[in-house]
Structure 1
Amino acid sequence: MFLWRSVLAKSLHLRHYTQSASALAVALDEPPSFTYLEGLPRPDPKYDETILAIPRAASGTSASAKERKHGRVPGIVFEQEDGQHGGNKRLISVRANQIRKLVNHLGYSFLLSRLFDLEVRAEFESDEVVEKVRVLPRKLHLHSGTDATLNVTFIRAPSHALLKVEVPLVYIGDDVCPGIRKGASLNTIKRKVKYLCPADIIPPYIEVDLSELDVGQKLVMGDLKVHPALKLLQSKDEPVCKILGARVSDQRRK
């Protein structure tokens, strides 16, 4: 209780999580409420979509192959007991063409940092809704040769959930970066960073601003601008990128 009251009193400047998500749910009278902050990335409503699914009775290699033969992708919906996976799973199947469309529109990494409504129906063409829940895609298993989706894992994402998310990085400001304008190059070290995120404010991506970096300078994970309620799950001193100068031999050739 004291933890979240401090958060609200300090305008959501949350610095530490000292309890698990399940322990917090027991300790609090009401779950905290978070909103995206102005100036930080938020999901584009253009890509809001309800993923349709049907219950799946059987698991295993042969059952999954049968689902794929009929244009469906076998999947699982988990609880979020430890922020990543847990018990109480539901076996489902989703339409292969819908998952393929989402991957094509968003890209693999960006799909895994975006929430969707999942509607489980008795049949795809039925009006009987078995369950409707908000989910985060956790993992897509792709065919190594064709990139076809072989199976998909979702995790339930109610507002009170704290979820471990690998958030993709988007690099901006390279056109005005002092180091790059001097002929140096960008060494991209990280493409994703892992955070513990309140479900309501999972960032679709994080911007890495290069506009003030000169030759030899770098950005580390602690430099990234994110909502204060996000907890970094990697070292804050781990490098994200660096501006590398040209080699002496290359400069002499010029």
Structure 2
Amino acid sequence: MILCRSALARSLHHHLRRHYTAAAASAAVAAPAPSPDDPPSSSPFAYLEDLPRPDPKYDETILAIPRAASGTSASAKERKHGRVPGIVFEQEDGQHGGNKRLVSVRAGQIRKLVNHLGYSFFLSRLFDLEVRPEFDSDDVVEKVRVLPRKLHLHSGTDAPLNVTFIRAPSHALLKVEVPLVYRGDDVCPGLRKGASLNTIKRKVKYLCPADIIPPYIDVDLSELDVGQKLVMGDLKVHPALKLLQSKDEPVCKIMGARVSEQRKK
């Protein structure tokens, strides 16, 4: 059994390496030439011109301080002082954690980011995170790029209760549930005929190189007629993204009126 698992792991690693090598070559052809002023990067990946990229308007450094204790009472004490208990993990291959650091972040900053971006969009966006001895200190213990992995909100007030971050260096591959944004409903042939949109998926899970995590994916409804649907394989994404769900899973469908409803009219 151990030998079988080892062979399976080697096979999966070889498959992913081939996938990302081919995707990097494709991206290098499609991506615009870098500017001499661009900072050097260890990643072969870049956002493509015709695909969504993070809005620089929401670039922000999240400030954090070390947290010595964990547990229910310690977390309650942090919240009482306007802080959100958090954890920063290492997750370079998208599957395994490690290198854990306990931190606390400002509740007001997290709440502001979630309100501006939206809950799902907050969880698909990279941030710089600075760990300092105190929030008002100029000393930096650690500065790292992170992806928010989990965020728990209070059911009644939406106050952030705890947050988990994953370190996201350029070489990391991260599992991300990317939110979908539906567009083209104003010109959709099926909707203009009086049909309705059945939204089946709001997010789709991909394995993403850290440098090109999409903030969202556009779902184009502009050519769908009554009875037609889009599946996950129809979504237009960077070739380096690996879909972690079936490409045949439906995303949305244009539903016609029922016969009984048509007769009433």
TM-score, normalised by the number of residues in structure 1: 0.90
Partner residue of 1:59 out of 70, 73, 87: 70
The 5 Å alignment of 1:202-221 reads 202-221=213-232
Which range is displaced more, 244-253 or 111-120?
Answer: 244-253
- In the alignment, the residues of structure 2 paired with residue 98 and residue 10 of structure 1 have an alpha-carbon distance, to the nearest angstrom, of 38
1:122 equivalent in alignment to 2:170: no
- In the alignment, the residues of structure 2 paired with residue 183 and residue 39 of structure 1 have an alpha-carbon distance, to the nearest angstrom, of 31
Q: What letter matches 2:163 in structure 1?
A: V
- In the alignment, the residues of structure 1 paired with residue 26 and residue 61 of structure 2 have an alpha-carbon distance, to the nearest angstrom, of 35
Aligned residue in 1 for 2:88: 77
Structure 1 vs Structure 2 CA RMSD = 1.7
Give the drift of 1:252: 1.3
Give the drift of 1:144: 1.4
- In the alignment, the residues of structure 2 paired with residue 98 and residue 192 of structure 1 have an alpha-carbon distance, to the nearest angstrom, of 25
- In the alignment, the residues of structure 2 paired with residue 6 and residue 206 of structure 1 have an alpha-carbon distance, to the nearest angstrom, of 22
Q: What letter matches 2:115 in structure 1?
A: N
- In the alignment, the residues of structure 1 paired with residue 193 and residue 142 of structure 2 have an alpha-carbon distance, to the nearest angstrom, of 57
Aligned residue in 2 for 1:20: none
Partner residue of 1:156 out of 150, 155, 167: 167
1:243 equivalent in alignment to 2:236: no
* Displaced runs of 4 or more, over 3 A: 1-13
Give the drift of 1:244: 0.2
Structure 2 unaligned segments of length 5 or more: list them. Answer: 1-13, 30-40
Give the drift of 1:9: 4.0
Is the 8 Å Cα contact of residues 54 and 92 (structure 1) preserved in structure 2? yes
Is the 8 Å Cα contact of residues 178 and 215 (structure 2) preserved in structure 1? yes
Give the drift of 1:84: 4.7
1:233 equivalent in alignment to 2:258: no
Deviations 1:93-143 (A, max 9, x none): 000000000010001000000000000001000011000000000000111
1:101 equivalent in alignment to 2:81: no
Aligned residue in 2 for 1:195: 206
- In the alignment, the residues of structure 2 paired with residue 130 and residue 112 of structure 1 have an alpha-carbon distance, to the nearest angstrom, of 24
Paired residues, what number? 238
- In the alignment, the residues of structure 1 paired with residue 178 and residue 140 of structure 2 have an alpha-carbon distance, to the nearest angstrom, of 31
Secondary structure in 1 aligned to 2:190?
A: helix
Is the 8 Å Cα contact of residues 170 and 208 (structure 1) preserved in structure 2? yes
TM-score, normalised by the number of residues in structure 2: 0.86
Aligned residue in 1 for 2:146: 135
Structure ranking higher in helix proportion: 2
Structure 1 unaligned segments of length 5 or more: list them. Answer: 14-29
- In the alignment, the residues of structure 1 paired with residue 155 and residue 126 of structure 2 have an alpha-carbon distance, to the nearest angstrom, of 26
Is the 8 Å Cα contact of residues 24 and 240 (structure 2) preserved in structure 1? no
Is the 8 Å Cα contact of residues 134 and 156 (structure 1) preserved in structure 2? yes
Give the drift of 1:249: 1.2
